[in-house]
Structure 1
């Protein structure tokens, strides 16, 4: 059975800083890319040929997957299995900082 996208709310809320979050993710075997989007940033529907794990450090971002909206906020992690078609949008008034993790 194919894995579905899911949000682990507050999974990394115990991390005090982005560096601490990065160290924890690295210890779990992830390759990590830091990213930031300003208010209004939008990514049209797309997919990837690898699994992605999005971990938000500050702010919030909305992902649209299979007609369902996932609000991902600071400390949350979004699991996007390979091939999952998704769109993303920063609907907030502040930037969102997050890490794009693959393994």
Structure 2
């Protein structure tokens, strides 16, 4: 699993992120959720490529523990990208102001993928 943090001082633009994903051979789609929405733990059979466009979302990995023995949490803010391998169990909790994400399934290797900035 890999998290790439947005480094630019400028806010990410959905259209630019979409174009970047398409140039990488992905077929992104947009989804949004209201504040506090929750997805129970589940897995995917493909590699998930997800950009947070607006708002925030927290992914929890119940099968991966930190040094204190707690489930690992990954907080995404606008522009951050999550590369989630197939079979990794995760849940998600939408932040206080809702979230809009661009997501795509990648059936090929994520190695060498260029990330937008």
User: Aligning the two structures, in what range does the TM-score lie when normalised by the shorter sequence?
Assistant: 0.7 to 0.9
| C-alpha displacement of 1:11 | 6.1
Alignment correspondent of 2:18: 22
Among 83, 86, 89, the alignment partner of 1:85 is: 89
Q: 1:97 Cα deviation (Å)?
A: 0.4
Corresponding position of 2:43 = 47
Normalised to the residue count of structure 2, the TM-score between the two structures is: 0.77
Q: State the Cα distance separating 1:58 from its structure 2 match.
A: 0.7
- Runs of 5+ consecutive residues of structure 1 not aligned to the other structure: none
Cα distance between partner residues in 1 of 2:82 and 2:47: 11
After TM superposition, which residue ranges in structure 1, 4 or more long, deviate above 2 angstroms?
Answer: 11-16
Asked whether the equivalents of residues 55 and 95 of structure 2 are also in contact (C-alpha less than 8 Å), the reply is: no
Gaps of 5+ in 2: 65-70, 107-117
> Per the alignment, in what secondary structure is the counterpart of residue 28 of structure 2?
strand
Shift of the alpha carbon at 1:6? Answer: 2.2
Q: 2:79 matched to which residue of 1?
A: 75
Larger radius of gyration: 2
The alignment yields a C-alpha RMSD, in angstroms, of: 1.8
| TM-score for the superposition, normalised by structure 1 | 0.86
Shift of 1:91: 3.1
Partner of 2:100: 97
